[in-house]
């Protein structure tokens, strides 16, 4: 068995904890990402005029390393994260991330902090690759110099109460992203837009907010940090990727599992407010939340209860199947597992 840190794995939250090391690389405009090495985990020096601090020029990814039933440390679909990072950097005028460089940095960070990966079924080690502009400037424009960091932290459940049905609020007072913008990039500024609405929802007793399409508020888009699905008559419905929705890796995985393993029909199209309020089950997906049920949805003071006692049958099966693949409890028919150790 792999040796572990002396950590109470049963009390892990979803917080940033200090680990051994982090990957640090740099690049300038018109260069290709190639430089980088592991450094002791710690603070970084950055100018107060840095482009990322003043104009939010940065993107990030979220990944997990698991200790599986086969006593291996694995990553889940890192090629998808690498490709999404490449697309996001290009949209944010950052030198396009090289997928091989990205995966090498993530793997090196995982290996050097491998004793921080929780034991089998005790959580995961969250990996946060982030790239941002560091050139000092007070005029609006892309940076010239960029820094790429990958750090890690052992984590448990994303929600303090654990993986339980969420109470969600639909409001037309806020939008997460607009059409023809950068909603489909994992840009740091997209997430700050959900901070105040999320705070408002929590102050009213909800877990988070479900955002509506900016161009037509009759349709649902996503949550602040997760994609959303509805189930009706054993059919999955999820908003199509129309440019303002993040192409979630867990979203894509759930769709593949539903179609290829569970023989379910999946509709990637328009998900109306009426459809989500009349659904048999509703759940959200993401690297952090995995697959989590939504127990109630409130709109205009009208609360619709969906599943207050636990997971609906399809939500439960999707979550169990996904986790079983990630933890190597069942065969991986899609070649999604990337072993860091054998």
Catalytic residue among 107, 164, 186, 235: 186
Antiparallel, parallel or unpaired: β 265-269 and 281-286: unpaired
Strand partners, 38: 23
Cα-based distances in Å from 167 to 200, 232, 241, 279, 303: 13, 19, 25, 15, 9
Could you count the other beta carbons within 10 Å of the beta carbon of residue 162? 9
Q: By CB neighbour count within 10 A (0-12 exposed, 13-18 middle, 19+ buried), where does 293 fall?
A: buried
| H runs (alpha helix) in the chain | 51-55, 78-91, 99-112, 188-192, 195-203, 249-256, 273-277, 313-326
CA distance 251 to 168: 19
Comparing C-alpha atoms, which of 63, 144, 46 is closest to residue 103?
63
Tokens 């005790």, residue located = 122
Cα Rg for the chain, rounded, in angstroms? 20
Comparing C-alpha atoms, which of 166, 169, 275, 170 is closest to residue 231?
275
Q: What are phi and psi of 136, to 5 degrees?
A: -70, 130
Catalytic, 91? Answer no
- Annotate 124-154 with DSSP letters as a single string: EEEEEEEEEE--B-SSSS--SEEEEEEEEEE
| H runs (alpha helix) in 23-98 | 51-55, 78-91
Give catalytic residue positions: 186
């Amino acid at each position: 068995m792999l040796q572990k840190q002396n950590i109470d794995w049963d009390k892990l939250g979803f917080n940033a904890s200090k680990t051994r090391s982090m990957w640090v690389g740099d690049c300038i405009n018109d260069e290709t990402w190639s430089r980088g090495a592991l450094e002791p985990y710690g603070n970084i020096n950055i100018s107060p005029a840095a482009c990322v601090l003043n104009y939010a020029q940065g993107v990030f990814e979220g990944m997990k390393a698991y200790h599986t039933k086969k006593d291996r440390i694995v990553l889940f679909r890192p090629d998808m994260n690498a490709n999404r990072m490449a697309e996001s950097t290009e949209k944010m005028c950052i030198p396009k991330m090289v997928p091989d460089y990205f995966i090498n940095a993530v793997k090196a960070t995982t290996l050097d902090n491998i004793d921080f990966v929780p034991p089998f079924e005790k959580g995961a080690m969250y990996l946060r690759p982030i790239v941002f502009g560091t050139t000092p400037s007070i005029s609006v424009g892309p940076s010239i110099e960029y820094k790429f960091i990958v750090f890690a932290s052992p984590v448990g459940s994303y929600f303090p109460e654990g993986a339980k049905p969420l109470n969600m609020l639909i409001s037309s007072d806020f939008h997460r992203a607009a059409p023809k913008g950068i909603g489909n990039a994992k840009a740091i500024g997209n997430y700050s837009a959900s901070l105040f609405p999320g705070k408002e929802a929590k102050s009213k007793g909800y877990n988070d907010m479900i955002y509506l399409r900016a161009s037509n508020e009759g349709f649902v888009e996503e949550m602040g940090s997760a994609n959303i699905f509805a189930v009706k008559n054993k059919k999955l419905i999820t908003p199509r990727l129309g440019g303002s929705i993040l192409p979630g890796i867990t979203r894509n995985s759930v769709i593949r599992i539903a179609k290829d393993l569970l023989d379910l029909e999946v509709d990637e199209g328009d998900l109306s407010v009426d459809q989500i309020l009349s659904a048999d089950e509703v759940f959200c997906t993401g690297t952090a939340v995995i697959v989590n049920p939504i127990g109630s949805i409130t709109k205009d003071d009208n609360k619709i209860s969906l599943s207050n006692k636990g997971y609906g049958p399809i939500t439960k099966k999707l979550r169990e199947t996904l986790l079983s693949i990630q933890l190597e409890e069942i065969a991986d028919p899609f070649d999604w597992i990337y072993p860091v150790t054998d």
